[in-house]
Structure formats: structure tokens, C-alpha cells
A and B are shown apart, each in its own frame.
Chain A
Amino acid sequence: MKNWLNKFIHEAREVRLTAREKRAMLSAIIGPARIPSPYSFFLAVVEHRHRLAVAAMFAAVVITSGGTSFAASGALPGEALYSIKVNINEEIQSFVAPNPTAKAKVEVSRTEKRLEEAESLSKSGKLNAKTQAIIETNLERHSNTLKASIATLADEEAAATVKEVISGLNSTIEVREAVLSDLASSSASSTGGHLDAVIEKVNKVKKEIDDIGKDVEDKDQKKKDGEKKQKEKEENDKKDSEEKNDEEKDEEDESKEDVATSSVSIIFTTTTTVVTGTATLSDIID
């Protein structure tokens, strides 16, 4: 075949997915190898009577929006697409997070999203016992995943990262809580009550995670103290042995000097002998 065509084919074939793109795409489609499929997973979490409608909608969303469904991202609890948002879109984000730090951050942002949803719901008067329960359940789930990520980080002895993640969570919650409290005091008593419940729930989450964070920090501190002591001990030992060494060295030097003196005298003696010897020889010649 013509040379130029071969060249063209060869080079055009270099256009391909990178290994990373391939992996990311696959996990976006079928999820982790052990999970059967996002499709059956998602059916399991949608109420039975809604299944058909949601399945059709999901398919439509996938087909029209290109890839993962972005249309669900604005859904609120109680709406059909909400399950997709929380259980598919966000779950995939959490799954593809490359490390425990990223995963923890995804969970923090999911917690924030739940609080924002509480805000939107209460503004439109849709925050009721049911939607409150959905938000609380999800907050609990996010906090569990977050705890798992923190545990992994603690195992990896990344106490600084744990601290960073937790302070991120705390500031997020504080900001949102302030907004929600304002809202609770100015809204109707029933909505206010639901808001208070959500605030209480998220504060419980915050406290639990804070406690875990303190544990991790304590352990880290103890470990550091231990290391410090160990180091000091080692240094002292080293000092001691150095002193000892110095003494030994002094002794050694002294004995070396003795040896040197005696070798000089040997040389001296030998020279004398030679001189004496030479003298003897010249005597003989004479």
C-alpha cells in the first residue's frame, strides 16, 4: 500500500483514550467492579411505584444530556429526579474520587448540599416531615462515609489532612447553620420546627466528627511525643557513647605515641649499628 497512506493510518491510530480516561469512563458507567450495576442499584433505591417513570426519565436524561445526568442536579427531596442526583450523580463523584482526602471533601460538599436543600425547601414551604427525614437520612449517610474516609486517613497517619477536612466541614456547617437559624426564626412554626430538627441533626454529625478528629489529633500528638522522647534518648545515648569514645581515643593516642617513640629509637639504634658497621668495614679496607 502507498507509503503516505500507511503513515496516515499509523498516526491516526494514535488518537485514542488514555488509560485514565478509560478507567474513569468505565467506572462512571458500571461503577466499581463488585457493584452489579448503577442501573439495578438505582432501581433498588427508588420506590417501587415510581420505578417505571423514573427509569424512563433516567434513560431520557442520559440520552439527551450526554453522559451522566446533569439535569438532576437541581432536584430537591420529594422530586422524582432527586434519587438520581443523590444516589447516582453524587455517588459516582464519591466513587471516582482518587483518594480518601478527595472522597472526604466530596462528602463535605454533599453535606453542604443537603443543608442548601433544606433552605430551598423551607423557602418554598415544602419542608415537611417527609423531606426532613430524607435530608436527615442522607446527612447520616454522608457522615458515615466521611467517618470511613477519616479512618483511612488516620491509618495513613495523615493527621494534618484530617484536621483540614474537619475544619472544612465545620466552617461549612457553621455558615449554613447561621442561614438556617435565621430562616427558622422568621418562618412559620411548622417549617421552623423542621429546620430546627435538621440543624440539630447536622450539629450531632459535626460533634461526632469533631470527636473523631480530636482522637486522631491526640493519637498523633502522643505518637509525636513518643518519637520526640525516643529521639532525645537516642541523642543522649549518642552523646554518652561519643564521650566514651573520646576517652578511649585519648588512651589510644597515648599508646600510639609510645609505639612511635620506640620505633624512632629502633631506627636510631639500627643507624648506629650501620654506622658502626661501616666504620668496621672501612677499618677492614684500610
Chain B
Amino acid sequence: MSNEKEHNKQFLDLYGKHSDELFRYCFFKTGSRDQSLEIVQEVFMKTWIGMEKGTVMDNPKAFLYAATRNAVTDWYRKKKPVSLDEMHEAGFDTSKEEEGNSFDNLEAERIISMASKLEEKYREVIILRFVNDLSVNEIAQMLGEKENNVSVRIHRALEKLRKLYIK
């Protein structure tokens, strides 16, 4: 069926474009590779089922980010809260994987451990704005906040990150 083929193509497109960045977003939120894998899979599974049902997405990227953020929030709720310190002590879950994953890179380890020292709300906007290249507007929509607030937060986050870096 051509309709089905279209779904397939659209889905594969979305998956190819966004799976890495959603995974990264989850990773910097949860600090766990396994958990991030699970969350991303769940989000795409929901997306796929939605597409099969014929749900039309005006803005698939926004939908994916919103769904991922909700899934992460659910995960936080289910888990007992972990403090950032604990998270850092656990060294984030940077378990190395085959196929040339980058965690064997000491620099990357350092970046991740540094990011884990940032407060979560700052870490989130840094990743979204600079690493995943979302616009301030997109971030504001996703977080349900005013663009102005988001800009201020990004500014503060940069300042904090810079201090961590220079230390």
C-alpha cells in the first residue's frame, strides 16, 4: 500500500534525523545509556503506532522532543530521585560500547562529568540549544516557557559552564 510505504519512509526519515539527538538529550538528562536507549525506543514506538493509526503530526520534531521529555519525567518519577552529586559520583553511565563509540575518549569523559556538575535545568538548555541546535523558540515551546525566560536561562547556563571550564 502506498500509504503504508509513505508511513515507512516518513518514520525512517524521522528516526534517521532525530534518534541520535534524542538519545543524547536523554543521556544528559538521565546519565544512563541503557535508560536512554529504552526511552528513545519507547518514544519512537509511540510515534510509529501513532502514524499507523493515521495521526498527522504538524511538527514531528516538536512532538518527538515533547514525548522524550515526558518519558524522561516519567522515568524520574518512577525512580527514586538521585542527586546530581550521586550521579556524578557514579560517573554517569559511560559504559563503553563497541563500534568505535566515543566514550573511550578521555576528553569526552571529562565533558560528561563536567556537564553532570551543572544543574539539570541548565544542562538541559545547553544541550538543546548548542549541541542539538534547537532554536530558542523551539526550546520555549518544548519547556512550555516564555522565550525570554529561556534566553535568560541559556545565558546563565553558559556562564556556569564557562566557570566550570576555567576552573
Please report A residues at the B interface, Cβ cutoff 8 Å.
2, 4-5, 8-9, 11-22, 25-26, 28-30, 36-37, 39-40, 59, 62-63, 66-68
In the complex, besides A8-B126, A18-B100, A20-B98, 7 extra interface pairs with C-beta distance below 8 angstroms are: A5-B158, A5-B162, A12-B24, A16-B20, A18-B99, A29-B45, A29-B48
B122, CB-defined interface residue at 8 Å: no
Q: Is the CB of B11 within 8 A of A4?
A: no
Q: Is the CB of A4 within 8 A of B165?
A: yes
Q: Is the CB of B41 within 8 A of A29?
A: yes
**Contact A15 B108, CB 8 Å, known A5-B130, A39-B48:** yes
**Contact A15 B42, CB 8 Å, known A22-B19, A30-B8:** no
Q: Is the CB of A30 within 8 A of B38?
A: no
**Contact A16 B24, CB 8 Å, known A62-B46, A66-B75:** yes
Number of interface residues of B (CB under 8 A): 48
B107, CB-defined interface residue at 8 Å: yes
Tell me which residues across on chain B come within 8 A of A30, comparing CB atoms.
Answer: 8, 11, 48
Determine which residue in A2, A4, A17, A26 has the highest number of CB atoms from chain B within 10 A of its CB, and name it: A17
A37 touches which one: B40, B48, B71, B162 (CB < 8 A)?
B48
SS of B interface (majority): helix
Tell me which residues across on chain A come within 8 A of B49, comparing CB atoms.
Answer: 39, 59, 62
Q: Is the CB of B115 within 8 A of A12?
A: yes
A17 touches which one: B23, B100, B131 (CB < 8 A)?
B23
Tell me which residues across on chain A come within 8 A of B46, comparing CB atoms.
Answer: 62-63
B97 touches which one: A8, A21, A66, A67 (CB < 8 A)?
A21
B111, CB-defined interface residue at 8 Å: yes
Top-7 shortest CB links A-B: A14-B102, A16-B20, A11-B111, A18-B99, A67-B41, A12-B131, A66-B38
Tell me which residues across on chain A come within 8 A of B158, comparing CB atoms.
Answer: 5
B27, CB-defined interface residue at 8 Å: yes
B145, CB-defined interface residue at 8 Å: no
Complex-state Cα separation, A284 to B100, whole angstroms? 93
B41 touches which one: A2, A16, A25 (CB < 8 A)?
A25
- Those of B126-167 within 8 Å (CB) of chain A: 126-127, 130-131, 158, 161-162, 165-166
Complex-state Cα separation, A22 to B23, whole angstroms? 10
B65, CB-defined interface residue at 8 Å: no
